[in-house]
Every structure is written in C-alpha cells, then in structure tokens.
Amino acid sequence: MVPVNVISTYSLLKSMIRPEKLVEFAKAQGYSAVALTDENVLYGAVKFYHAAQAANLTPVLGLKVRIANFMTIVYAKGSQGYQALSRLSSTIMTQADPLSLATFLKLTANLPIAVEPATILLAYQDQDLQAILRALTKEHPIDLYAGINLELDPVQQTAIQNWAQKHDLPLLAMDPVEYLKPDDYFSTQVLRAIGNGHEIKDPHLVANRQGSHFLRSAAELMRAYQTAGLKEAALNTERLARECQLTIKFQAPVLPAFPVPTEESSQAYLQKLCQAGLRARGLTTAPYQDRLAHELAQIHKLGFDDYFLIVWDVMHFVHQQKITTGPGRGSAAGSLVAYALQITDVDPLKYHLLFERFLNPERAQMPDIDMDIPDNHRQAVLAYIHQRYGHQRVAQIITFGTLAAKQALKDVARVFRLPTYLSDQLNEILGQIQIKDRLTIAKAVKDSQALVNLMSDQPLVDLIVKTAQKLEGLPRHDSIHAAGIVLANSPLIDLVPLQGGFGDDELMVTQYAKETVEAVGLLKMDFLGLRNLTIMDLALRLIHQRQPDFDLTKIPLDDSATLRLFSQGNTDGIFQFESRGIRRVLVNLGLDNFEDLVAVNALYRPGPLNNIDHFIARKHGTESYHLPDPSLQAILGTTYGVLVYQEQVMQVASVMAGFTLGQADLLRRAMSHKNQATMEQMKTRFLAGAEKKGYAKALAIQVYDYIEHFAQYGFNRSHAVAYSKMAFEMAYLKVHFPAEFFVALLEIEPNFNKKRDHFADAKQRGVTIVGPRINLSHAGFSLQNGKIIVGFQSIRGLRSDFIAAILKARQAGPFKDIYDFLSRLPEKWATEKYLVPLICVGAFDGLGYNRAELLDSLAGLLSGGKFHLFEPSLQPIMHQLPELPLGERLAKENEYLGVYLSGHPASQYRSLRQQLGGQLIHDVQPDQPTTLVVLFNRSRTVHTKKAHRQMAFVTASDESGQITLTIFPQQYAKFYQLLAKPNQIVAVTGKCVRHNDETEVIVDQLKLANTFKPTNQRDSARWALRLLPEVAESGLKRIETVIKEHPGNYPVVVYDVQTQAARQLLNGAAGDEVTHQAFNAAIGSANVVFQKLPLKK
C-alpha cells in the first residue's frame, strides 16, 4: 500500500505537511514508498527526494493538474519522467492561459495519470468532462487509472468501478492526505482560511475536531480496502510506485559558453582583455604580469574562462551605461583578473589580497563573484542579461516568505476575529520582547510573563498562540530572491521547473530555491541591488553637472578631511559605519589611515568584537604585545599583533610551514569551521613544515595555537578592503560635496526617523535646506544654487497624481500667487485636503501672504468655483494676520513632513540649556551624567516582567538629533502625568548608557522647560536693538513677533532713533543664533547687537 495522493506545505497555505516530515511519518506508519503530489508546482520535489533517499523509502513524484474542472494526478515514470513532469509544471506556471487538453495530452505522453474520483462521478452528468475522459482513454490506454477512495459511499464506489470496467481501466486507491494526524485538521483549516481570506466565527467549537484526510498506517489502510472489496485498488498503488521510482540528476554547474566575438578561444580572449585592462590601469610591471599569469593559468585549469567573460560582459555593459558600481564584494576582490576586467576596483597586490582565498585549486568549487548594482538600475542590468542570453536561458530564483512568529499570530488573530483591543494588547506585548536572535512564539511565551498572563485571562488569545505555533515557519507565499539569477547553455525548461515570465520581457523564475538550482547544475550569479550605491550614483550625477571630470575611483584614500570625518564618528549615512557602536570605536581609535578603517570594518562583528579594545590599546601604545617570531611582523604588524583577517592565517601558514596558499586556505577553512579532524591533520603538516624550514617545534606549536585561537574570528580581508573603500568614497562625497550627498541620501532614505537625523546632519555641515516651495520643488529632493529643495513627495498626504498636476501646471511658468495657482490647478484638486498640507509646510511662503492668512482665507478661496479667481473684484478678502507662532509652525511642519525645517522647538530654550550646563544630544557620552533640553516626540509605556510595574521609553529630540529616554518605575511614578502630554519641551537629567548598541539616557529628573525661572544670567547679556524712524511702528511689531517666536531670558532694549529714547521691553528673547538671524531679518543686521554684560556682584 502506498499513499499516492499527498499534498505538502508547498501547495501554499493548503497543507501543513513538510516534505521531510512526510517521509519520516510515512516510514513510521509502515510504508516502503510514498508520493508527493502538490498542485501544479514542484517546489518541494528535491527536499522530498533527498529525505526519501536518506530514509531508504521509494519516492514517487506526482503533480495535481486541472483541465477546466477535470482533476488528475500525473506521475513521473522512468528516467525521463522527472523531466517530463518538470516541463508540464513549467508550462502550467509560465503561461497566462489555462492549460488546454491538447497541450496536456502532448506533455503527458507515456506518463501515468490518475483521474480523481470526484471527477469521474461528475462526468456522469457533464458532457465536457465526458469528452476529456474519452480523449484520455484514447491517448492513454495503458497508464490511465480510475481513482477511488474510502470516503465514497457504496453507490459512488460502484459507479466508479462500473466506469473503470467499461473503459478497461485499473482502479487506484487515492485517499487524500492533507495532514499527518487527525488532530492536525483544525490547524489545516486555519491555514486554508489564511490563504483564502475567510474567518472562523467560533474557533473554540471546532478546535478539537478530528479530520479524515490524515495518513493512516499502511496495515490499517490495507485492511480497510480489503474490507471494502477494493484490494486491487490498494495493490495498484504498489505497482504504480514500482513503475515510478524517481530519479533526479545532480551535477556540478555547467557553465554556459560565452559568445566570443572573434574566432579565438575563450582562454585567449580572456587573456587579451586582461592585458588591455592592466595597461589601462598602468600596471605592466613584472609582479603584476606574474600574478596575472598565475591566476589565468588556474582559471583555465579549472575551466572558468567563460565564467569570467560572462561577468566581464555584464560589468562592461554597466560601465557603458555610466552606472555606478562598488569596488567589489567578497573574496573576488582578491583577484587581479577581476581587477583588470574592471569587475572590481581594488588592487589586490597593493592591499596584499590573496587569489587563493577566492579560487582555491585544491578545493574545487565554482567561483562566486557577487556584483553590487544601484538598486534603481538592477532591472536594467537583468534586462541586458535577458536580451543577451535569451528568454529561455535566464531566470530569477524563487524564495519563500514564511509564517514567522508575528505574521503567524497576526494571520491567526484575523481568522479568529480577535477584537481590536486584544489585538493591540498582543502587539504591544510582542513589541516589548527583547530577543537577540529571531523571535519565535516559543521564545515569546518563555520570556514574556505578560503574554502568559494574557493567554491565561483570554482563552481566545491562548488558542491563537497555540495554533500559530503549529503554523510557524510554514511557507506563506513565493517571492523572488533579492540578488540571484541562473544562466544556462540550453533552455532552462529542460533542466529545472519554472514559473512566471508571462511575456518575452519578463524573466522566468525557477521553482527551486538557490541551494537547489546549483545542485541540479545551474550557474547562479548574484546581482545585488545596493541602496548605498544608488545614493552614490545619484550624488555623482549631480556632481558631474558642475564637475564633469570628477572621478570617484581616483580620490586619495589618505584624504585628511575624510579621515577626520571617520575619526570624529560623523558617519551618519556612511555605508557600514552608521551604527552608534562603530562610531564610538572610530572615535576611540582616533582613526587616521585607511588600513585602520579596513580593520575596524573587519573587527566590528559579533565574533571578533572583543579584540577591538586590544587593537585600540595597542595602536595607542597603552598595551604591549609580543609576536612569537619576528617573521610574523610583516603579516601581523599592521594590525598590532591581532589576527584580524583570514588571509593572515594563510600567510602565516605559508611563511612558517611552507604551505601553498591553496593548502593554507584549507587550513583557514578548517579552523573557521572548527573541523577538528582536518585541523589535527593540518597541525601535523604545519609542525612538520615549520621544522623543515628550521623553526623549533615549541615555537611552531606556539604559533599554531596563536593562529588557531584567532582564526575562528578572522574576517575576509578582500571583502573588508572593498567595502571600506566604498565607505571611504561615500564619506569623501559627504565631506567635499555635502549638498549633492545629502540630496541623494534624503531622496533614497525611506525611514522618517533617519531622514530627520539626516536633516540635522546636513544643517550642521552647512547645507541650506529649503522647505517645499510651489515654484521650486520637484517631486523628490532637488539641488538648486547649492541649496537642497524639499520635494512634494515628502509631504504626507499628497497623492502622486496631485503632484504631477502641480508640475504640469507649472510648465506654463511660475505661479504668481495663490490665485494664479488655483486658477491653473485642475478643479478636482482644489480641496482643503490637498492645499492645507502645502500651506502648512510653507509651499506658498514668499507669494504675498503668510501661512496664517492663507489658512484663514482658504475656505473662501475654494468656494464658488473658479470664476472669482480671474476677476480681482470678485476675489475674497484676505485678512491681514500676524504669522503663526513659531511653535505652531514647527508643529505643522513636523506633522506633514516628519521634520522641523524652520528650526526645532527645543532651540527656543538654548539659553536654558546653557543655564543648566546641558548638552546637545549628539554630544552625550556613555557612562556620564547628562542634562538635556528636549522635545518629547513619543512615549511607550510597558510593564516590568517580575513586578508588573509601569515604566516608559520616550523618544526625544533636539536640533542635533534624537535619543531614547528610559524611565524606570520609581521615576515613572513621579512623572507619569508629564509623560501624558505630547510635544512638551522638557529638561532632563540622568545618566547616559549604552544598550543594544544604542545610546540611551536613564532618567533621574524631568521638568517642563517653561517652568524654570530666569537666573542672574538674564543680566549677563542683552539684546540692543536700534529702531530707525522710517520703520518705527512696523519695526516694533516685527521685534515683538520675534520675541513671541523666540522667547527666552535675555532682556530686549530698543533704542528709538527718532525720540532718542531707550526702553526695555516686557518680555525677553532667547540668546541663540536663530534669534539673532530673526532680529536681523526684522530690522536689519546693522541695527542688532547682542551685548555681553558683566555679572552683578
């Protein structure tokens, strides 16, 4: 007896059965063979095949196929059966139209087909199904089965038997298997509800139901068929399994042949390209020629000439299109051939990089050159490969999104119709759980008492968590791998099942994931869309508008200004060096050369992180170190005796023990993988080699132990150099072309919080940022006259078609005023919904009316259609109003832009910060007391695990950035009322700490900024303002407006030139640069002085 009608979890969201579990359970149930018959796809075929072979079970592979309403299962038979089934699946999944009967019959010739029982019964009343049955019996007289199962009642079974006898067809036992055990029924129904969007109204009523579509034991099922008089149908499953033993061929990847444009060989053409590349780089000396000859010989010996030509061809296209590329990725940066071909941009001889770390002739494997492409150009690169090699020979690679913990809980909660208030509680609890690795439901239950309490109090939540845990990890949907593509010499449909590719312009997708496509002999190449390269690409295009000859690849890697940026930790927006933790390392190190940058990049990783303090101390001479032998100085000297790179292990083995670099790579690999058996063999060879070279055995043992200790943490130097070079290039742009850099960074950055930090960073670097302006802004960020103009897309709530309408209307010329704007705007967009955000962010500033006036008059402007816009006498009266207070303007800017452009609310209290001896956020230091004057942006209240007491995390900001404030229960009890008020300016005292690689402040005291009383600092300085006769009345109003917008503790004294009298105004102003500029704008810079006064004794 063999189960021949089994679907797995790869019939997405229809079954919980994993292929490996199917095999394991089938063997336990007494089967010697088992089938996998998913619907239309072969996603799980290889996993199933490997699992069955390992368990010594016969795997039978089938495919559920529908022709209209006619359901069949087609099985792979003989050596060609798998290829035929793969082609059938590919045809179904790569064509937009449903599978026709003619195509089905053609593709299933010589393959066994079983007609499902329900189809046979329906055919008694359906002429179309009868026609298909007749065609099948005619075309498949030998390998056609009539399906039958024990779910049918006796009348139905008899009907199928009669039909089979009439057409002389054998019966086949086809009991459906959708889950392994009866109590998996409920979870499977939930899974299907997730897939089809249904709900289960009362899950508790059905939670304990048992299902019938489970995998019975072989003995039980056989007895049941004998009892039903259907023994022949059961025995025919064994016959089918004998005929359909599955064979899948696995082989090393078969490289496609590169179309060499001349009659010369691939080897000769590659050599010619490399020589030309070295000449173009000015590298023709003997060391380069020797290294090139060595690499080319190894590449040819391993049969990889065509591979390098294929990669060169793609990168050649990229360079022709003037698309920015990175210096390289991974160990490929250690190849001179790759450098000569401009695949990489790192000189391996200059940086002492090893070819054998990339391609080791003693460890035969495919070369792996990963190519980084700006993510906005990746599709163009794929389109070129598609066109170059043809639709049938190129495909992307599938990947599967899974039901991870939070997704599983969310999906099950929807199916069970969990009330919103409980859903919010559940989400809040999950958000509070701190897990270093991937969150699982089991970890959540173990680590969160709040979750356990909620499950105990709410039976529905308990059922959700337990059901979701059963579904966790199952595939939810198929997707496309972010980087990988496959390339073949022949049509892919003959090698691997495919899907997608509807139309000649769309790439097909393999049905196998990346590990499997390589195992079946396909060449996998990775083209990774890198956001940081997109930033660089956009910045360079802007730079080239004013400096066409600028070449980023030729910048000096010892540029002092760029190194200073790293040493100061000002690396916000810089690839691989953005985190607070690595920035602290840069500052502590006092980085002053490129080699140290490479070392930090390699060391700042979970394994070698503990070596950083030693590295820093040794650089500064505060920690001494001793190398076991002087011969190691050349290898370990630049890293102060710390073994940072994998290549250093290889070099030590080569120098001391006489290993070839290939042998040394095997040692490095064994050490990093902790392969004890190989390491013992290698140690013996190392000691023997060292002795042969004249080293004492004790010294050799000491050196071996030394490199073994560090080797498991060593990092790929080639990759570290390449990515550090990319980081240095980004930093160079930030230092020398800040406006272009920040335009690109802001345009590409999707995260509002990070964008806010970038705004602050840009301003600190002297870049002027202008908010959205109706006559200046484009859709995205733009650069005009050295200033960054915020684009309309940054305004929350604006639709892309509304933005397009604005830009189209502006083609007729700049808008003169609000009336002109409304007269040219299509009437459907003339609503408060779209115009209020524009007004609040200052888009109409400078066009005659301030924001307060526009908001006040907007309803009148929009009423009555457009006719009044063309007749001045009919235009509504625009009331003259003072501008909105600065605080209100800033709040509206933040609401619609997510940032403050006209200033920051906390900047009004700079004098208070000075009074308290406080700091800006970006100046705080770990393990130090700190005082901040900040805006409370948002807070999150949580409960402690043990005592279940309330505490809070507050995100706060000032003009320099943002930070998290942690308020523990004792302080929370004091200040919870203050926390309930959003957007307050608060003075904070506490201690700065490091947590999860982020800087936080543990709060001790909180106090509203506006409750502080002025100190004698009020008398330490004052504003002296001169009022000229021609602006006496209006000037005084403007002064009062500035004081209202910039309140503070410094007295304001006004000298009236006309009356020659001076008087101190009632209210004081802030004493900062923003206030100074505001007074300058109000009455002219010649009439403003900020006077320092001696303190009163």
Residue 1073 has pLDDT above 80, yes or no: no
Is residue 1022 exposed (0-12), middle (13-18) or buried (19+ Cβ within 10 Å)? buried
Backbone angles phi, psi at 252, to 5 degrees: -65, 150
Q: What percent of the chain has pLDDT over 70?
A: 97
Q: What is the reported pLDDT for 1018?
A: 46
Neighbours of 730 (CB within 10 A): 26
Residue 6 has pLDDT above 90, yes or no: yes
* 687-698 per-position pLDDT tens digit: 999 999 999 999
Helix (H) or strand (E) holding 75: strand 70-75
Residue 863 has pLDDT above 50, yes or no: yes
Categorize the per-residue pLDDT at 301 as very low, low, confident or very high, splitting at 50, 70 and 90.
very high
Residue 505 has pLDDT above 90, yes or no: no
Categorize the per-residue pLDDT at 212 as very low, low, confident or very high, splitting at 50, 70 and 90.
very high
User: b/e for 55-85, b at 16 or more Cβ within 10 A?
Assistant: eebbbbbbbbbbbeebbbbbbbbeeebbbbb
Q: What is the reported pLDDT for 763?
A: 86
Amino acid 1040 reads E
Q: What is the reported pLDDT for 1097?
A: 43
Q: What is the reported pLDDT for 653?
A: 93
Residue 276 has pLDDT above 50, yes or no: yes
Categorize the per-residue pLDDT at 395 as very low, low, confident or very high, splitting at 50, 70 and 90.
very high
Measured over the CA atoms of residue 626, residue 631, residue 632 and residue 637, the dihedral's sign is: positive
Categorize the per-residue pLDDT at 729 as very low, low, confident or very high, splitting at 50, 70 and 90.
very high
Residue 510 has pLDDT above 90, yes or no: yes
**Structure token pair of residue 201:** 């109204």
* 945-998 per-position pLDDT tens digit: 777 788 999 999 888 878 999 999 999 999 988 887 777 899 999 999 977 667
Average pLDDT, the chain: 91
Categorize the per-residue pLDDT at 890 as very low, low, confident or very high, splitting at 50, 70 and 90.
confident
Residue 869 has pLDDT above 60, yes or no: no
* Mean pLDDT value of segment 1019-1025: 80
**DSSP assigned state of 537:** H
Categorize the per-residue pLDDT at 822 as very low, low, confident or very high, splitting at 50, 70 and 90.
very high
Q: What percent of the chain has pLDDT over 90?
A: 67
Query: Can you tell me the distance from the alpha carbon of 112 to that of 245, in angstroms, rounded to the nearest whole number?
Result: 12
Q: What is the reported pLDDT for 241?
A: 96
| H and E: helices and strands count for the chain | 46, 26
Q: What is the reported pLDDT for 1016?
A: 52
Q: What is the reported pLDDT for 610?
A: 84
Query: Can you tell me the distance from the alpha carbon of 379 to that of 562, in angstroms, rounded to the nearest whole number?
Result: 33
- Regarding predicted confidence, which is higher, 1037 or 115? 115
Categorize the per-residue pLDDT at 1077 as very low, low, confident or very high, splitting at 50, 70 and 90.
confident
**Structure token pair of residue 138:** 């005619």
Is residue 545 exposed (0-12), middle (13-18) or buried (19+ Cβ within 10 Å)? exposed
For the chain, domains (ranges, CATH) are 19-178+216-243 (3.20.20.140), 266-361+368-400+480-532 (no CATH), 533-731 (no CATH), 751-897 (no CATH), 905-1011 (2.40.50.140), 1016-1092 (no CATH)
Show the DSSP H helices in 140-227 as ranges. 154-166, 185-196, 203-206, 218-227
Q: What is the reported pLDDT for 962?
A: 82
Residue 242 has pLDDT above 70, yes or no: yes
Q: What is the reported pLDDT for 397?
A: 96
